[in-house]
Amino acid sequence: DSGVTQTPKHLITATGQRVTLRCSPRSGDLSVYWYQQSLDQGLQFLIHYYNGEERAKGNILERFSAQQFPDLHSELNLSSLELGDSALYFCASSVEEGKSSYNSPLHFGNGTRLTVT
């Protein structure tokens, strides 16, 4: 058990809808990262938050947004869903960020499997 909790485990929704994925990082971890894993794109970095502040954006669509709350949990909001958004969405956490943490692994949750029909 990595200590990172993601809910829900599975989500099935229709095109055009909006969903929210939730993540609770490991106790003490200030950094939260979101990744998308699809069959054709592999593991794609979406966004990184540290202690409530957005730090970096990757290949995140404008229809997607995220935030990290004062209690450090994070939510990823996906709107106007398309069939191509079907994927496994991972949240990961790390105790630190930046160059000093180059030897710190990211600890991943079990993911939310999103199916858009």
104, amino acid identity: S
Q: How far is the CB of 80 from other proteins (least distance, A)?
A: 25
Could you give the C-alpha distances from 93 to 28, 39, 53, in angstroms and in order?
A: 10, 23, 14
Cα atoms found within 13 Å of the Cα of residue 70, Cβ hemisphere only: 0
Residue 22 is a binding residue for other proteins (CB under 8 A): no
**Strand 53-57 relative to strand 64-68: parallel, antiparallel, unpaired?**
unpaired
Residue 106 is a binding residue for other proteins (CB under 8 A): yes
Q: How far is the CB of 16 from other proteins (least distance, A)?
A: 26
Residue 12 is a binding residue for other proteins (CB under 8 A): no
Q: How far is the CB of 63 from other proteins (least distance, A)?
A: 21
Ranges within 60-99 binding other proteins (CB under 8 A): 88, 90, 92, 97-99
Residue 101, SS3?
helix
Ranges within 26-55 binding other proteins (CB under 8 A): 31, 33, 42-43, 45, 48, 55
Phi-psi bin for 73: left (phi > 0), alpha (psi -120 to 50), beta? beta
Neighbour count for residue 68 (Cβ, 10 Å): 23
Q: How far is the CB of 69 from other proteins (least distance, A)?
A: 20
Q: Which of 102, 114, 116, 117 binds other proteins (CB under 8 A)?
A: 102
